[in-house]
Structure 1
Amino acid sequence: MKTHYHKALLCTTLLLLTACSGNKNEEVNDEGVATVLPTTDNEVTVEVLKQRAFNHELISNGKIVAGGQADLRFETSGVIARIYVKNGEKVFKGQKLAELDKFRLSNRTAQAKDALEKSKLELQDVLIGQGYPADDSSKVPADIMKLARVKSGYDQSLSQYELAQYEEEHATLTAPFDGVIANLFSKPFNAANTSEVFCTVVGTNGMEADFTVLESELSLIQSGDRVFISPYSDAASRYEGVVTQINPLVDEKGMVKVKASVNGKGRLFSGMNVRVNVFRSLDKQFVIPKSAVVLRSGRQVVFTLKNGQAKWNYVQTGLENAEEYTLVGASQTDEIAEGDTVIVTGNVNLAHEAPVKVVGKGDKVKR
């Protein structure tokens, strides 16, 4: 009898504990569900899909090349008397750069001038001997004048004088255009080597960027397109230019060479490695921000706003720049069309037909 009493008491206790534990678990589960499920709608920003101009951006690497570059050398041998410039110095067209010792050259010019004067007198004597006036060559027949000039040695003396005069003048190097001095390594009082470059003048006003584009991108670039150049040595700087040449040949690697003129403002140097951004404006494109496109199962998805809910739409993007995509066939499909309200932010964790709340918009929207 006592044993039955104890068994009944034990069963009663277990039932009470089970009931209490069940109530506690239900409370915990209720609290967990309340914590996981959102109590408010997803907050999103939106904009209306419409056609507008799209700034297509093409990115490439290139090098800066001087639009004007001249290797200067002395055309006659001699000792370098003076050097007036140094590497990195800005020069202007016609500015004197260096000159040779001109004593021998001046002496040679003077001798050639004297020989020319003597030949001139000989020419007059020949003409007088032929019965023609020496002071009026217009009355002398052309064949007689030619014979007289050869006989007197006048033509030979004239060419020697002009050569001596030319060498004396070119014993002084001058800048052919505005630019900067480079590769100047000679020193005064040393002999000039006519076979080697004395210095190089690099033009700074007409810098060019040489870069390449893929054959598949050739249709997206044309002469006149805007470019922005950023040197890798100073990525924060940007210089504007335009595409000037597209080489009509594709190399064995499938690349096409392009040239763009750039206003370097005197800060770009020939040979610099640069990043090239080519921009071209394309009209009547459906454009959306990159933030509006999310991936679902490896496919591109854009959410639209309809009746306070997010609607899931598969899309295909086309061209892109740093911030935007174009949509392919947006006006020909039932998925998404012009005038739809596109969710551009707050869409990362959205599901189909999830309730949303608009907190910002880029344009007048349809609710």
Structure 2
Amino acid sequence: MKYIPAILILSVLLASCSSPETDKKHNADEIGVATAETDHIAEVTVMDLQSTVFNHEIVSNGRISAREKVDVNFRSPGLIASIYVRNGQRVTKGQRIATLDTYKLDNQLEKEQSAVASATLEMQDVLIGQGYDPDRLEKVPDDVMRLARLRSGLQQAELNLAATRKDLEDATLHAPVSGVIANLTATPHNMSSSTEPLCRIINDSGMEAEFSVLESELPMVRPGDKIAVTPFSTTDSRTGHVTEINPMVDDNGMVKVWASVDGGGGLIDGMNVRISVKRAVDKALVIPKSAVVLRSGRQVVFTLDGNKAMWNYITTGLENLSEYTVTDGLTPGMKVITSGNVNLAHESPVRIIEK
């Protein structure tokens, strides 16, 4: 028992030698903040936190389609004589696409022209028989002229001739719009179809994107909002704007949206794309996603205090591909560490470097 006083005295001395830094570390541990235990100085970049306009972004998958697509075919079936285009070829409005063999139509035209000439002579005989001069038709009353044309068969002959000329005109297929040839499967010296199109012309100068957004995201999408369109096959993106929103929610809780795409060149009808809808919202505290790290499942941002990194729990709001808005935990004017923060702890010594 004589050693007990000595042990008590040693305990008191050790307690009195406890440093303020040790007490601070114990307090930090109590609230779950990891403090620095090394003299290593981390290199970091920082930004001044200020309220700014945040570009909210919704990302969705969609499909490209042309606003103008025309299936072209011959009005009447016939033997295809020539095809002047190929798939993928660009054509202009009025350009010749294909022609049918016109041998029978040419013969028919000659017959119809002869029939008109014969009927004209017959009409003149009818007029002479009624006492009128066939060389002065303007003197013939309308009702007499109409009757003479019917009796001579001239009216029917002229109708037949007009129909044959129209068939000859339709035997050459022209592009009704400018665009790109697609779905061309016909070949020369084969019969055309009056029901199946010879090809399709896609006007790729006016493309639109169709995509869906969640019902919960619908308040963030409005006609006129800017979009970015990126095909899965390339990294080139194009701009556009929202044109239509379907006022219905489908069974999966999705709403269809259409957008016009600027500069459709290079886009293909039916192409799968990634759509990014961007819309500026009110000013907010905006930080890059690189500034946020996870500690014990919570979001943490380090700020600069002198030459030390300070630990801050935060709550984020909206986000886009590269940024968050901060709703709690930070205040304007703070210097936020944006890189070099992965291995930081509370009060870690840091050195600022240029970006």
Q: TM-score if structure 2 supplies the norm length?
A: 0.75
In structure 1, give the amino acid aligned to 2:280.
Answer: S
> Does the CA-based 8 Å contact 1:44-1:356 persist in structure 2?
no
Superposition deviation, residue 60 in structure 1: 1.4
Counterpart secondary structure, 1:176: coil
Amino acid paired to 2:243: T
Tell me, yes or no, if structure 1 residue 359 matches structure 2 residue 319.
Answer: no
The range that moved more, 264-273 or 91-100, is: 264-273
Where structure 2 has 5 or more consecutive residues not aligned to the other structure, the ranges are 1-35
State the partner residue of 1:236. 235
The one-letter amino acid paired with 2:288 is P
Which residue pairs with 1:344 in the alignment? 338
| Aligned-pair CA distance for 1:287 | 0.8
**Root mean square deviation of aligned Cα:** 3.3
Which of 161-170 and 118-127 deviates more?
118-127
Change (3 A) 1:185 1:144: same
Find the aligned partners of 2:129 and 2:55 in 1 and give their Cα distance. Answer: 82
Q: Determine the structure 2 residue equivalent to 1:33.
A: none
Corresponding residue for residue 188 of structure 1:
188
How many residues align structurally?
317
Q: Which residue of 1 aligns with 2:9?
A: none
Taking the aligned partners of 1:43 and 1:339, their CA distance within structure 2 comes to: 21
Matched ranges for 1:166-315 at <5 A: 166-232=166-232, 234-263=233-262, 266-306=265-305, 309-315=308-314
**Quick one: distance in 2 between partners of 1:245 and 1:122?**
64
Name the structure 2 match of 1:135: 138
Distance in structure 1 (CA, Å) of the matches to 2:317 and 2:122: 85
Post-superposition shift, 1:355? 5.2
Contact in 1 for aligned 2:112/2:160 (Cα 8 Å): yes
One-letter amino acid of the counterpart of residue 336, structure 1:
L
Shift of 1:110: 4.0
Cα distance in 1 for residues equivalent to 2:335 and 2:139: 95
Q: Distance in 1 between matches of 2:332 and 2:68?
A: 51
Corresponding position of 1:161: 161
Q: Look up the equivalent residue of 1:193 and give its one-letter code.
A: S
SS of structure 2 residue aligned to 1:204: strand
Q: Which residue does the alignment assign to 2:14?
A: none
Distance 2:41 2:268 in 1: 57
Mapped contact 1:47–1:361 kept (Cα < 8 A):
no
TM-score by length of 1: 0.73
Whole-Å separation in 1 of the counterparts to 2:301 and 2:147: 94
Q: Using a 3 Å threshold, how does the CA distance of structure 1 residues 157 and 214 change in structure 2: closer, same or farther?
A: farther
Distance in 1, matches of 2:215 and 2:109, equals: 60
Equivalent position SS for 2:224: coil
Specify the code of the residue in structure 1 equivalent to 2:65.
V
Task: Confirm or deny: 8 A CA contact 2:309 2:350 kept in the other structure.
Answer: no
Structure 1 residue 172: Cα displacement: 0.6
* Residue number in structure 2 paired with 1:68: 68
Q: Tell me, yes or no, if the aligned pair for 2:64 and 2:269 is still in contact at 8 Å.
A: yes
Aligned partners of 1:119, 1:318: CA distance in 2, in Å?
Answer: 87
Match of 2:97 in 1: 97
Structure 2 Cα separation of the partners of residues 136 and 338 of structure 1 = 97
Gaps of 5+ in 1: 1-35, 363-367
Shift of 1:290: 0.8
Structure 1 position 74, deviation (Å): 0.9
Partner secondary structure for residue 270 of structure 2? coil
Change (3 A) 1:288 1:361: farther
User: Cα offset for 1:282?
Assistant: 2.6
Preserved CA contact (<8 Å) 1:87 1:181: yes
Instruction: Work out whether residues 39 and 349 of structure 2, in 8 Å CA contact, stay in contact via their aligned partners in 1.
Output: no
Partner of 1:29: none
Cα 1:72–1:302 change in 2 (3 A) is: same
Report the Cα distance in structure 1 between the residues aligned to 2:111 and 2:44, rounded to whole angstroms.
93
